[in-house]
Amino acid sequence: MKHGALMHTPDDDVAVVVQDVARGTSVQAVTLEGDKIATVDAVDDVPLGHKIAVRDLDAEKDVIKYGRSIGRATQPIKAGAHVHTHNIKSKRWA
């Protein structure tokens, strides 16, 4: 399976998709070094350049990308879900 999403660190909760991903598509997430980290089935359509959850996230959990928190989940997020402003609150403007 060719990779479909990139992660900065193996501990990240999200990966950035490298192409439009249709709901039901299996996505392989790899680190920038090419290490395979997770395979998730997209539960939402995810546009190119947007984030996909690589694991289930509880509401109020910090969402990790780049090895650091980028925001807080405002609701439970399932692995394979589109992660964006509808389900996380950024820490940048908090």
Q: What is the mean pLDDT of each run of 10 residues along the chain (94 residues)?
A: 85 96 96 92 97 97 95 97 95 66
pTM of the predicted structure, to 2 decimals: 0.92
Three-state SS letters, the chain? CCEEEEECCCCCCEEEECCCECCCCEEEEEECCCCEEEEEECCCCECCCCEEECCCECCCCEEEECCEEEEEECCCECCCCEECCCCEEECCCC
Phi/psi of residue 45, each to 5°? -70, 135
**Domains contained in the chain, CATH given:** 3-90 (2.30.130.110)
